[in-house]
């Protein structure tokens, strides 16, 4: 090859047909493109080309090098660049091209095609898709699998509202990968080619490749993403996650942006924790909490927000006040600013359970670490909300689609409102934080500092303080175990750490929520009515309905009316009434309990018994309300 190049150079110098003979520059450019494809570095290529030109007696040999970087840039951008075919043509040795390819390790790529390009051929789609996936993995592209979806991380550039949820500038959200976006990434991180007139030419990835890859649910080799965090956190084993990037142990992607956090020690002392607690209290120092347990709930909310992905479940944090303008939304913002550096995703309460589910689903799919249901003016309840508080994943309906997908539930949920009302099963899943200024116009109260500005400025220290409290409690061997709350056993770590530092147990406020449950109040009234009318006699629903039609049986008629009211019907129906009663069989309310027996014919007989208050679970360890 060198001999042929030297001969061509000399022939160019002495040829009378010089104007149409390939110039030294053309030969050097083709040689440069060939060596790029052979894997040589830019420096090696420039030295080779200049040296060969010098050996050939080229008067401008010193100018022939220095072209490798520019040629490589064009080559990697997919632009046309000469390679071995052009070089062999210029040298008149086309018959040697195949042999030369073997010698210097250049594939049959044609001009301007990467020898490692993915070749698009009929019948080879699976192989092409395999190679495209491997290219994404090799380049470390931040595309992840999240159960049945592929997702990528995006940062909100400007504050916007979508599907009833408002997000602030700077928020990191997960976007579902679409076929056009994936096709562009395939093109960005791998070269593609197809055969055209016996030569390979560069092409864009086929649409089928992106579509086929998106359909490989369960067979992706990409990293699994549990969530994105913007501050250090703790792993389920209690160790600190504080190095930027993807953490394979937890499936979390840590992106602190431009914020720098001090390293959190592995073995902080109790003195360290006490100092950290005082610092963590500062943003809340002028909030008029309705007692110290309510302040504990605010502190627990911050700590939970930072380590929420450490737990499979966490309670709802309800922030309540008697009057608008008391600072409920501000308190929720401070919690999120500490955890993420920006205000939380805010959603209003939907008009129905279905609308609430759609909004909550969109937030979970976006991976928001903190969700605030703001200014609730109706009872907070619903099966979907209960499930996302107690389960590690849910299967929400995708808006506009009939399919359902698994979605992680690692978000802290906060609800705010004036004189909040919680109902049903949500009550036992909620901690209650009440703010009461005692003023008629709390919005006119002036505070001595700007809570948002101070929290934003102090954020790096506040994050370290919150994690130091938890980490020091773990390092001490978790010395103050408390009785577990059902469904939130892991989350009990937060309660214990606060009680260890002589703070009230935030779970004390849970009793307030459960006592005000309107569903429970309805059940108590119903059981008392049944007991007053029928004592402890066993009756079928048909017998109750028959009694209600007898003269002077107003009590039985009152029970029928209650059953109609609680089944959303206009007339009495034994099937609907039986469904309502079955939901409450065995539940104690107001010292009464509904019992049922089934006779040999399969007919259910109901009665209400007086019972003593029954403890749920083991005896408490320590001074707790459970």
CATH number at residue 351: 3.40.50.300
Q: Are residues 522 and 510 in the same domain?
A: no
pLDDT at residue 152 is higher than 70 = yes
Question: What average pLDDT score do residues 332-336 get?
Answer: 97
* Beta carbons of 186 and 192 less than 8 angstroms apart: yes
Taking CA atoms, 426 is separated from 308, 361, 416, 491, in Å, by: 19, 17, 14, 17
Query: What is the C-alpha to C-alpha distance for residues 470 and 473, in angstroms, rounded to an integer?
Result: 5
Q: How long is the chain?
A: 626
Examine residue 140 and state whether it is found in any structural domain, yes or no: yes
Confidence band for 196, pLDDT divided at 50, 70 and 90: confident
Using the 3D structure, point to which of 104, 134, 160 is the last residue of a domain.
104
State residue 252 phi and psi, 5-degree precision. -100, 145
Q: Which domain holds residue 543?
A: 518-610
Q: Helix (H, G, I), strand (E, B), or coil: what is residue 7?
A: helix
Distance between CA atoms of residues 374 and 319, nearest Å: 10
Rg of the chain (C-alpha set):
35
| Tally of domains in the chain | 4
Ranges 154-163, 184-193, 550-559, 612-621, most confident: 184-193
> 585: pLDDT confidence band, cut at 50, 70 and 90?
confident
140 pLDDT more than 50 = yes
Domain match, 314 and 392 both: yes
Mean pLDDT of 472-483: 94
Q: Which residues does 146 contact at the CB level (< 8 Å), separation at least 6? A: 174, 224, 225, 226, 407, 408
Inside any domain, residue 235? no
Query: What are the distances in angstroms from CA 340 to CA 306, 319, 370, 493?
Result: 8, 19, 9, 21
Residue 230 — very low, low, confident or very high, per pLDDT cuts 50/70/90? very high
Query: Is the confidence at residue 599, as pLDDT, over 90?
Result: no
Query: For 382-388, what is the mean pLDDT?
Result: 92
> Is position 260 within any domain?
no
Averaged pLDDT, 351-371: 90
Cα separation, 597 vs 448, whole angstroms: 64
Predicted pLDDT at 397? 67
Q: Which residue has the higher pLDDT, 279 or 532?
A: 279
Tokens of 1: 């090859």
User: What's residue 4's pLDDT?
Assistant: 57
In the predicted structure, residue 587 carries a pLDDT above the cut 80: no
pTM metric for this prediction = 0.70
Residues 188 and 74 in one domain: no
Let me know whether 333 and 413 are in one domain. Answer: yes
The per-residue pLDDT of the chain, averaged, comes to 85
**68 vs 237 pLDDT, higher one:** 237
**Per-residue pLDDT, 400:** 55
The backbone torsions φ and ψ at residue 607, rounded to the nearest 5 degrees and listed phi first, read: -155, 160
Q: What Cα–Cα distance (Å) separates residue 287 from each residue in 148, 294, 330, 434?
A: 43, 10, 10, 10
CB-CB contact of 504 with 495 (8 Å): no
The answer, yes or no, to whether residue 415 has pLDDT greater than 60, is yes
Judgement on whether residues 505 and 583 belong to the same structural domain of the protein: no
Task: Write b or e for each residue in 569-601: b if 16 or more Cβ atoms lie within 10 A of its Cβ, otherwise e.
Answer: eeebeeebbbebbeebeeebbbebbbeeeeeee
In a domain, 203, yes or no: yes
Question: DSSP H helical segments within 487-598, as ranges?
Answer: 492-500, 510-515, 518-534, 541-548, 554-566, 574-582
pLDDT at 233 over 80: yes
CA 18 – CA 13 distance, rounded (Å):
7
pLDDT (mean) for 120-144: 93
Residue 517 φ/ψ region, left for φ over 0, alpha for ψ in the -120 to 50 degree band, beta for the rest: beta
Do residues 73 and 174 share a domain?
no
In a shared domain, residues 283 and 428: yes
Per-residue confidence (pLDDT) for residue 280, from 0 to 100: 98
**Residue 217 domain-assigned?**
yes
Q: Residues 303, 158: one domain?
A: no
Please check the confidence at residue 334 and state whether its pLDDT lies above 80: yes
Please indicate, yes or no, if residue 111 is contained in any of the structural domains.
no
Higher-confidence residue of 332 and 531: namely 332
Encoded tokens for 6: 């030297």
- pLDDT category at 444 given cuts 50, 70, 90 is confident
pLDDT at 372 over 90: yes
In degrees rounded to 5, what are phi and psi of residue 316? -80, 140
At 14, the pLDDT band (50, 70, 90 cuts) reads very low
Q: Are 516 and 421 in contact (CB under 8 A)?
A: yes
Q: Which residue in the block uniquely carries the two structure tokens 């500490």?
A: 338
What percent of the chain shows pLDDT beyond 90? Answer: 46
pLDDT over threshold 80, residue 570: no
Separation between Cα atoms, residue 152 and residue 217, nearest integer Å: 16
Q: Is the pLDDT of residue 7 over 60?
A: no
Mean pLDDT of 255-267: 94
Worst-scoring range by mean pLDDT, 42-46, 135-139, 409-413, 472-476? Answer: 42-46
Q: Where are the alpha helices (DSSP H) in 77-202?
A: 84-91, 97-104, 125-138, 179-189
| Residues 501 and 523 occupy one common structural domain | no
pLDDT computed for residue 24 by the predictor: 73
496 and 554 in a single domain? The answer is: no
For the segment 16-72, what is each residue's pLDDT rounded down to a tens digit? 333 334 467 788 888 888 888 776 788 888 888 888 778 777 777 777 778 888 888
Residue 626 in this model has a pLDDT that exceeds 60 = no
33 and 75 Cβ atoms separated by less than 8 Å:
yes
pLDDT for residue 78:
67
Q: What is the pLDDT of residues 425-442, one digit of tens each?
A: 888 899 999 999 888 888
């Amino acid at each position: 090859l060198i001999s042929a190049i030297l001969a061509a150079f000399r022939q160019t110098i002495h040829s009378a047909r010089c104007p149409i003979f390939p110039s030294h520059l053309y030969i050097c450019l083709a040689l440069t493109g060939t060596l790029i494809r052979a894997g040589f570095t830019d420096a090696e290529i420039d030295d080779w080309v200049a040296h060969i030109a010098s050996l050939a007696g080229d008067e401008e040999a010193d100018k022939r090098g220095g072209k490798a970087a520019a040629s490589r840039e064009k080559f990697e951008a997919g632009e046309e660049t000469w390679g071995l075919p052009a070089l062999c043509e210029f040298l008149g040795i086309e018959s040697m091209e195949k042999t030369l390819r073997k010698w210097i390790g250049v594939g049959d790529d044609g001009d301007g095609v990467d020898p490692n390009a993915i070749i698009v051929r009929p019948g080879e789609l699976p192989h092409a898709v395999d190679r495209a996936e491997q290219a994404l993995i090799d380049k470390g592209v931040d595309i992840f699998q999240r159960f049945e979806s592929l997702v990528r991380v995006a940062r909100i550039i400007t504050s916007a509202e979508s599907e009833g949820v408002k997000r602030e500038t700077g928020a990191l959200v997960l976007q579902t990968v679409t076929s056009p976006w994936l096709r562009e990434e395939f093109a960005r991180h791998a070269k593609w080619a197809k055969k055209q007139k016996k030569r390979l030419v560069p092409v864009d990835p086929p649409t089928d490749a992106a579509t086929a890859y998106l359909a490989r649910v369960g067979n992706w080799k990409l990293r699994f993403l549990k969530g994105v965090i913007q501050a250090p956190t703790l792993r389920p084993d209690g160790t600190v996650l504080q190095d930027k990037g993807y953490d394979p142990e937890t499936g979390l992607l840590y992106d602190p942006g431009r914020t720098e956090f001090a390293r959190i020690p592995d073995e902080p002392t109790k003195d360290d924790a006490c100092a950290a607690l005082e610092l963590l209290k500062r943003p809340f120092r002028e909030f008029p909490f309705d007692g110290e347990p309510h302040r504990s709930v605010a502190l627990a909310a911050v700590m939970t927000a930072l380590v929420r992905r450490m737990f499979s479940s966490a309670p709802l944090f309800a922030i309540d006040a008697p009057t608008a303008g008391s600072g409920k939304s501000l308190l929720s913002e401070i919690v999120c600013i500490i955890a993420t550096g920006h205000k939380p995703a805010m959603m209003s309460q939907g008009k129905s359970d279905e609308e609430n589910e759609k909004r909550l689903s969109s937030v979970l799919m976006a991976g928001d670490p903190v969700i605030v249901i703001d200014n609730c003016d109706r009872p907070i309840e619903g099966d979907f909300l209960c499930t996302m508080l107690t389960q590690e994943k849910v299967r929400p309906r995708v808006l506009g689609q009939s399919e359902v997908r698994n979605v992680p539930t690692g978000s802290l949920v906060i609800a705010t409102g004036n004189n909040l009302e919680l109902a049903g099963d949500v009550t036992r899943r909620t901690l209650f934080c009440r703010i009461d200024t005692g003023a008629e116009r709390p919005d006119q109260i002036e505070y001595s500092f700007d809570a948002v500005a101070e929290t934003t400025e102090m954020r790096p220290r506040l994050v370290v303080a919150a994690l130091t409290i938890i980490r020091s409690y773990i390092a001490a061997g978790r010395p103050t175990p408390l009785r577990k709350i059902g469904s939130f056993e892991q989350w009990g770590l937060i309660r214990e750490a606060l009680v260890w530092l002589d703070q009230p147990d935030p779970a004390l406020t849970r009793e307030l929520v459960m006592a005000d449950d309107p569903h429970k109040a309805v059940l108590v009234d119903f059981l008392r009515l049944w007991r007053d009318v029928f004592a402890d006699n066993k009756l079928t629903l048909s017998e109750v309905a028959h009694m209600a039609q007898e003269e002077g049986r107003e009590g039985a008629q009152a029970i029928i009316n209650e059953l109609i009211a609680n089944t959303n019907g206009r007339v009495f129906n034994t099937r609907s009434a039986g469904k309502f009663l079955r939901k409450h069989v065995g539940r104690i309310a107001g010292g009464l309990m509904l019992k049922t027996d089934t006779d040999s014919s399969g007919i259910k007989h109901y009665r209400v018994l007086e019972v003593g208050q029954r403890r749920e679970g083991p005896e408490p360890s320590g001074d707790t309300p459970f």
